[in-house]
């Protein structure tokens, strides 16, 4: 007896796997962290160039970028609402 349930699908019916955007962003972040760690291990004597990277500066940058993105999305929303 043969199993008729295992009929192969035509190649046009096979869907490509969906790549999650969040997973992609997390992978890029982890890759960046690994490169920073490698850079720190390799260039330990030249790290005085990165003295400006502090938690408060990183938080300030995140807040500024968040405000800019909010303003851009808000203006886009307002202009699209005026069109309708």
> What's the pLDDT tens digit per position in 10-46?
666 667 777 788 888 899 999 998 998 888 788 777 7
Q: Would you say residue 4 lies in a domain?
A: no
Q: Would you say residue 76 lies in a domain?
A: yes
Q: Would you say residue 27 lies in a domain?
A: yes
Q: Would you say residue 6 lies in a domain?
A: no
- Is residue 65 very low, low, confident or very high in pLDDT (cuts 50, 70, 90)? very high
Q: Would you say residue 25 lies in a domain?
A: yes
Q: pTM to 2 decimals?
A: 0.48
What total of structural domains would you count in the chain? 1
Give the span between the Cα atoms of 65 and 3, in whole angstroms: 58
Give the span between the Cα atoms of 61 and 69, in whole angstroms: 12
Token output for 6? 């295992």
Q: Which domain holds residue 32?
A: 17-46+53-83
Is-contact 84 77, C-beta < 8 A?
Answer: no
Q: Would you say residue 70 lies in a domain?
A: yes
Give the span between the Cα atoms of 55 and 51, in whole angstroms: 11
Give the span between the Cα atoms of 22 and 57, in whole angstroms: 25
Q: Would you say residue 10 lies in a domain?
A: no
Q: Would you say residue 1 lies in a domain?
A: no
């Amino acid at each position: 007896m043969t199993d008729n349930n295992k009929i192969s699908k035509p190649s046009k019916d096979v869907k490509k796997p969906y790549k999650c955007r969040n997973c992609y962003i997390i992978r890029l972040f982890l890759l960046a962290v690994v490169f920073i760690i490698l850079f720190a291990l390799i260039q330990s004597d030249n790290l005085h160039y990165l003295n400006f990277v502090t938690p408060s500066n990183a938080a300030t940058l995140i807040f500024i970028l968040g405000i800019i993105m909010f303003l851009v999305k808000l203006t886009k929303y307002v202009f699209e609402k005026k069109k309708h």
